[in-house]
Structure 1
Amino acid sequence: MPSDQSTWLIAVPNDGDAEGLLQELAPKLTQQAKLPIQDLAQLPVPSFKTGTLDSLVILSEDLPKQDAYFTATVAKAVDTLRNLLNNDPSKLSQHILVDERNVDSYILGGWKWNEGRYPVQRSLRELVDGLTSEMTSIDNALKSKLTNYNLVKGSLTQMQRRKNGNLSVRSLSDIVTQDDFILDSEYLETILVAVPKNLVKEWYGSYERLSSMVVPRSTKELLSDEEFALFSVVIFKRIHDDFLQKCRERKFIVRDFVFSEEEIEKEKQDLETAEAFQLLVHLKVIRLFVESVLRYGLPSSYIGVAIKPNPKSAKKIFDILQRQFTYLSPRSNPVQKRVGKTTGQEDFVGEYQNILDQEFFDFVLYEVPWVIY
């Protein structure tokens, strides 16, 4: 039985009445299994170019690996967002919008194959390779963004561990604000300097001359404690290293702090979770099609249905589906179709071990786990 923690994508042969299937299923599922009508929807399965039987079998062997990779990439993006948003489900749902809809609405609210980006005239192998290429780009971008985010987060975490120290060592994240910094300037930057109390007068008298391109009258005292006063000062970026060296020589302590609120927010917004999820669903639909052709043969016309089961009634929903599609039993033996009738050789079965190990039903079913969104 499929998981009760996933959305089920189902395909069966189209015997000429696609609308009729949904109309027949809906009352059984809503009345007998108490499935909300909004959790049941038609899922159009395009008529792709089938190619040869050999190419379909080879593709069916490759697709589980791609599916696992796609699912892992989406899960990683969602998990990163979840951590960024402090495990707040309401905020997470606001960030994971696919075509300006939440994930459930994307699948159950009239899903369509994106013909503009993935023309069905292409071969199935070309479509899968294209989807994989896009997902790989997203995965690489995600890794890069995670690295940048972790660097920023690590810096903040280290500072937050030093809350009890003086202004030369303590965290500044609860002291400074965005207004204390010049942001997004091509030439200028704001430096924070902790000045010993006995050197404050010297700071005021000398900071403009510490290097050649310090902005005059730009220093501002932000806070002071018993030992230090914290100043901001604006300099030209090109003298950054020289200014830091001159500060060290005068015993002025430059604080290594980068205002990170916008950077972290940018990382949240730039995670391409929504696009990755679209790619995953498109790949699932290709799997539905390939498996349907291998089970039921041509013509390649199939009906898709998407169901989001309630965990409490998932078994009842599945039992209804099994009874509904019992008539497909004589046509849905994938092992017999792909192996036994093809070769008659027991040794040949080893090549298709992944196929033999799968759990099969009279209808084709693949899952989108809820844990990834």
Structure 2
Amino acid sequence: MYTCFLAGPDWSTDSRNLGKAVMYGSLVDRHGKRGSPVVPGSVKKIMDDKDSVLYTVTILKSQYEAGYYEGDEFQPGTKVNIEEEFAKLCREKRFIVREFKFDPSQASRSAMALEQLQVEVDGMRTGLTRWCKTHYGEAFVAWMHIKVIRVFAESVLRYGLPVDFTAVLYKVAHGKDPMLTKSLDKALGSEDTSGADDEEGGEEYHDFVLLKFDP
């Protein structure tokens, strides 16, 4: 017997081909036909994805066809290689056939390799988590420094020298950003420019410097 993998399209979702009759050839050529070489119950579905399915199946490698008389002349029996014919028929159905040979030692090696990889992954995760916890504070402080520098630079560009402005940090409740911005526009902005969109950049323009910070 011969065990192989079959990978190909999922015909079970093609309703047009479900229940289609088996093609036995012309009516005058039905004196001898072989049955399916597939061992009953050997087809097992391994996995599938969106369009393809992977099976394992066990088939007969070859089959002996008994001899017969044709008139008064005896035709001797022949041994037919089913493996090649099976692969050919599978290719017609867009299935790829690959031989499977079970190696007991390979299974243990694969298990050991998987265990080793899991140990390495756990070690890398531990190191990466520790690195992130150590450097998160430094990255956050640097980010805040950049925000402060930008507030200073834009305020000088907006109001000029000498430096005379006040920087305020607001902690806004979730979903209340538009309400706070509108209130600041009323308190600090002018009626003709508050909330207007910049024609070139499409960003909101205010009479005060506004930088949002979403850590």
TM-score bin, normalised by smaller chain: 0.3 to 0.5
Q: TM-score, normalised by structure 1?
A: 0.24
Which structure dedicates a bigger proportion of its chain to helix?
1
TM-score, structure 2 normalization: 0.39
Structure (1 or 2) with the greater strand fraction:
2
Higher relative contact order, chain-length normalized (CA < 8 Å, sep 6+): 1
